[in-house]
Structure 1
Amino acid sequence: MPELPEVENVRQTLEELVPGKTIDQVIVQVPKMIHGMEPDEFVHTLIGQTIEEVRRRGKFLLLDLTHCTLLAHLRMEGKFRLLNEQDEVSKHTHIIFHFTDHTELRFLDVRKFGTMEITHKKGEEETKSIQKLGPEPLSELFTLPPFAEKLKRTSRAVKTALLDQRLVAGIGNIYADEILFRAKVRPERAGSTLSDSEITRIYKETKNVLREAVALGGSTIRTYVNSQGKLGQFQEKLLVYGHAGEPCPICGTTIEKIKLNGRGTHFCPNCQK
């Protein structure tokens, strides 16, 4: 699933491509992708509106239009592509936003897990999808004291806590492994057992890892590319994720992979004691 760095790079490319475009037709091929209203109402609401800005909250893309905001979640393999109306339509294209300038913003999703919903303009914080999200890790709202307090109160594994979007928004499996490796904390450790210094390292590395990943366009694992078809480069910086059986880049110990709450989890048994 695309995580914060990947979604942020999709946002950045869409922000270059679609503001100022006016929707004159919407085609919904997979009705279950539309949440909160019937597909016909979704289509009717968007026709005639102009895209003004593209924002992000956690793993959600927020497209601000003239009179409303469109929330889109890419889920496992969702992708946006801006194409000309005459370009061939892929069989995995499920929602099409046709613009008055004869271009189209197409949403492709092999697994059909992606979702879209409409709220009033910049009213995303009132939706159930957004209300439960924790602070943005690269914003000033992400501060150490509440982060530490919540970790110390949980008996869950620290990696499981990091994946909980209520603690901090946008972290997924890849970056949780990388954050904990850099912080030298075992992913199975219960949050309540962490020392102040360990929590501080996790907090700092959360910001560091995500900031670096955004700068490098995210990680191209499996099918991710941004909305201009460009690959991310952060996978070249991954130290443990995807490196099971290989020597740790720090100490040479073999990197291990285990299942933790159903998620493949990579760590160095020496560096993360």
Structure 2
Amino acid sequence: MPELPEVETVRRGLSALVVGKTVVYVHVHLPRIVRHPSPEEFEKRLVGRKIESIDRRGKYLLFALPPYTLVSHLRMEGQYRVVPKDEPLALHTHVIFGLSDGSELRYRDVRQFGTMDLLTADETLPSGLLTLGPEPFDPALTPHVLYQSLHKRSAPVKSVLLDQSVVAGLGNIYVDEALFLAGVHPLTKANRIGQRRCEALLRAIRDVLTRAIAAGGSSIRTYVNGYGRHGGFQMQLNAYGREGQPCLVCGQPIEKIRLGGRGTHYCPNCQPRSGRRRPHADVSPSSV
């Protein structure tokens, strides 16, 4: 957390709020957030740079401030807010960007796991960004491509889908939800999933992400967007976080197991280990 829908929601909000504005000052209050260059150089290089665009790759935000790209990863609880510069500073605010219209873009991170790298075009991107797999909505990610990726792995399918080199941007919440919609048990070995099931799984991934983005993401813990608003997709969850509650499709209680240190939620009836259950009928192709 945050995952692709939350990062995309942040990107869209910040694009509306800060693109076209110029950075007039930067204050780094927690040096370890800035990995490259030094915090002092980070502050110096950004002054006078115009924010031309904000893109997303997987869970990374990419701020274009020519000749630099600011690569930001929110990790567990990183948040960006755009506020008037005279607004009192919230606790755990670690980086402040003063903007040309008198507002401030503030980065807050209670867990302090987030990172920032300020890079030129000839500098190497962070390793996590270099090894990302295809975006979920990339037309090049076909059911056959997903099948080929899964077919190489004998690990549980949930663990494989959480591997960012397979599909970029997926995390715990949305993998649980996609597996539910596709009728796939999370412990199923990835290489046991056939091509038809991969087609259903890819449809489910895209369906879940599309609806989550439309709802502004999921506010399970502390997530807010650039306006300080919570997401709403947590109200639409079928599996994640619903341990012991009746399945919204069949009424069977949702179960929770630990897989790779992560809480994993599924319906034992809709997602049997045998793999014989058909995907739910409400899973349909979609795009953003």
Say whether 1:112 aligns with 2:112.
Answer: yes
* Distance change >3 Å, CA 75–CA 127, structure 1 → 2: closer
Are the aligned partners of 1:138 and 1:211 in contact in 2 as well (CA < 8 Å)? no
Match in the other structure for 2:157: 158
In 2, Cα distance between equivalents of 1:52 and 1:3: 24
Q: What's 1:92 paired with?
A: 92
Match of 2:236 in 1: 237
Say whether residues 1:18 and 2:23 are aligned partners.
Answer: no
Instruction: Using the TM superposition, name which of 156-165 and 124-133 deviates more.
Output: 124-133
Q: CA deviation at 1:124?
A: 8.7
User: What TM-score results when the alignment is normalised by the length of structure 1?
Assistant: 0.96
1:143 deviates by 2.0
Q: Secondary structure at the match of 2:150?
A: helix
CA contact (8 A) 1:72 1:114 kept: yes
TM-score by length of 2: 0.91
RMSD: 1.4
Q: Which amino acid letter does the alignment assign opposite residue 205 of structure 2?
A: T
Partner SS, residue 81 of structure 1: strand
Measured after TM superposition, the shift of residue 10 of structure 1 is 0.3
- C-alpha distance after superposition, 1:93-149 (max 9, x if no partner): 00000123221100001111111001225x798442311101110222322222110
Q: State the alpha-carbon separation in 2 of the partners of residues 124 and 255 from structure 1.
A: 47
Residue in 1 that maps onto 2:276: none
Q: 2: CA distance between counterparts of 1:272 and 1:138?
A: 24
Q: Which residue of 1 aligns with 2:203?
A: 204
Q: Which amino acid aligns with 2:65?
A: L
Distance 1:131 1:103 in 2: 33
Kindly tell me the number of residue pairs found equivalent between the two proteins.
272
Q: Give the superposition deviation at 1:179.
A: 0.3
Q: The residue matched to 1:76 in structure 2 has which SS?
A: coil
Question: Within the alignment, does 1:44 sit opposite 2:26 as a pair?
Answer: no
* 1:142 matched residue in structure 2: 141
Name the residue aligned to 1:251.
Answer: 250
Equivalent residue number for residue 62 of structure 2 = 62
Percent identity over the alignment is 47
CA pair 135-16 structure 1, distance change in 2 beyond 3 A: same
Gaps of 5+ in 1: none
- Cross-structure match for 1:176: 175
Matched position secondary structure for 2:140: coil
**CA distance in structure 2 between the aligned counterparts of 1:97 and 1:37, rounded to whole angstroms:** 16
